[in-house]
């Protein structure tokens, strides 16, 4: 029995050894599953951002505004508590002004302070907040060469210049001290742009020191332009207060003086005082033995006022652009119209880019039917006189014309 038990044990051991040493069967590979194609999510369309109006970096663009007045009716419309808020008057024109590198305006009045009283018939004394509103709207330089600046005396004139500068604007047209040159220079895109301003009058019968302004003669004006050129100005822009008030005719004397200024080195001339739009000129002049292209706007009309007579509720923004090497590349004008009341008959005195609405088939909600007709008439009448080639309906600046 013992032998049988031993034999059984040996047989069992042999079976175990054979089983352990036999090669393992090859594993059966699991079938590879083809993954389902997951559809790429459709990206949300990126909204096209509305660009902020900015000047063209390849050129220098200058715009000049017509007469800027703040008369008694405008003060009543802008009254806000103890102060005056003129932001609404300029809100619709801001984008157009933002297209320029330099915006120049003629301030018809003086900031003599509240104690001197506001609301005189000619709007000579202007609230300080008006200057702030112009700065916030995009005006860069205010000229004060006109017959109103000394209406409240020399101290008020100096106060006006200091207030303008205190709001971050340039001021030119009077001297506040003997060391002050008759020009203002702004550096734009590496170029020096000089602004000068002269007036046919600084107030009848006003005792004003002659040292505070440049005498209105061709000799004195041209000497000032040459002084600016000698100071390194690459471009010279001149703002003139001249001509016959309320007339659309350019005087022969204006044209003679303009030619003298251009030959002295002025690159562009913009005119105010007439309160009526006058002719434009683009031509070649001889300067230092070579021909150069220049642009003259003899009368820009009114930019902002309460005047409503025919032709005086409107004006143009005159503009010129130069390449960085000094070539005149574009000249244009943008008609504007001053809306007196909004649709609810509330006085606003709002400057509008006339072409935007005149060329629209749909009347905007803030214009009454009569105002819609009036802004169209302003556009049509201005372009009929000045031509449509250089007319701009809004802020965009075209090229090469």
* pLDDT score of 198: 98
Q: What pLDDT score does 207 carry?
A: 79
Q: What is the pLDDT of residue 204?
A: 63
Distance CA 20, CA 292 (A): 106
Return the pLDDT at 119: 74
Q: How many Å apart are CA 352 and CA 91, to the nearest integer?
A: 9
**Residue 53 pLDDT:** 53
86: which 2 tokens? Answer: 């003129």
Q: Are 96 and 353 in contact (CB under 8 A)?
A: yes
The DSSP output letter for 301 is: B
Concatenating the DSSP letter of every residue in 161-185 gives HHHHHHTT-EEESS-SSTTS-SEEE
How far apart (Å, rounded) are the C-alpha atoms in residues 180 and 209? 14
Question: How high is the pLDDT of residue 54?
Answer: 63
CA distances from 241 to 95, 143, 274 (A): 26, 10, 8
The beta strand positions in 28-90, using DSSP E, are 59-68, 79-80, 83-84
Non-local (6+) Cβ contacts of 376 within 8 A are: 357, 358
- pLDDT, position 343: 87
- pLDDT score for 228: 98
How far apart CA 353 and CA 108 sit, in angstroms, is 21
| Residue ranges per structural domain of the chain | 59-386
∠ at Cα 97 (94, 103), nearest 5°?
Answer: 130
The pLDDT, as a whole number, for residue 31 is: 44
Which two tokens mark 301?
A: 């009309």
Residues of the chain with pLDDT under 50: 1-52, 396-401
Contact criterion met (CB below 8 Å) for 155 and 113: no
How many other CB atoms sit within 10 Å of the CB of residue 134? 27
The distance between the two most distant Cα atoms of the chain, rounded to a whole number of Å, is 156
CATH 3.40.190.150 fits 59-386, yes or no: no
């Amino acid at each position: 029995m013992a032998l049988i038990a031993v034999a059984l044990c040996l047989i069992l051991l042999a079976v175990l050894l054979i089983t352990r040493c036999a090669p393992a069967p090859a594993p059966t590979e699991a079938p590879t599953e083809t993954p389902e194609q997951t559809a790429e999510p459709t990206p949300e369309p990126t909204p096209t951002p509305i660009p902020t109006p900015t000047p063209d970096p390849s050129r220098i663009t200058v715009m000049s505004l017509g007469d800027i007045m703040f008369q008694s009716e405008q003060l009543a419309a802008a009254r806000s508590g103890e102060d005056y808020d003129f932001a609404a008057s300029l809100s619709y024109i801001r984008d157009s002004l933002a297209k320029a590198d330099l915006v120049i305006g003629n301030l018809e009045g003086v900031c003599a302070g509240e104690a001197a009283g506001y609301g005189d018939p000619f709007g000579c004394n202007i609230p300080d907040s008006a200057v702030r509103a112009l700065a916030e709207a995009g005006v860069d330089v205010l000229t004060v060469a006109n017959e109103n600046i000394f209406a409240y005396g020399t101290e008020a004139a100096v106060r006006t210049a200091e207030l303008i500068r205190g709001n971050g604007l340039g001021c030119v047209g009077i001297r506040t001290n003997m060391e002050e040159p008759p020009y203002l220079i702004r550096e734009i895109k590496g170029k020096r742009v000089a602004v000068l301003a002269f007036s046919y009058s600084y107030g009848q019968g006003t005792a004003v020191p002659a040292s505070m302004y440049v005498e209105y003669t061709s000799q004195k004006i041209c000497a000032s332009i040459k002084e600016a050129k000698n100071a390194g100005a690459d471009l010279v822009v001149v703002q003139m207060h001249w001509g016959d008030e309320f007339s659309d005719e350019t005087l022969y004397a204006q044209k003679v003086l303009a030619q003298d200024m251009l030959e002295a080195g002025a690159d562009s001339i913009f005119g105010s005082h007439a309160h009526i739009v006058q002719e434009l000129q683009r031509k070649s002049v001889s300067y230092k033995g070579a021909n150069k292209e220049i642009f003259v706007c003899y009368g820009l009309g009114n930019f902002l006022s309460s005047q409503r007579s025919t032709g005086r509720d409107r004006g143009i923004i005159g503009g010129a652009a130069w390449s960085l090497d000094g070539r005149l590349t574009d000249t244009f004008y943008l008609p504007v119209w001053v809306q007196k009341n909004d649709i609810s008959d509330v006085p606003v005195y709002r400057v509008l880019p006339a072409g935007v609405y005149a060329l629209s088939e749909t009347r905007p909600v803030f214009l009454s039917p009569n105002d819609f007709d009036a802004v169209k008439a302003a556009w049509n009448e201005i372009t009929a006189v000045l031509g449509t080639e250089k007319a701009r309906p809004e802020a965009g600046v075209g090229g090469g014309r």
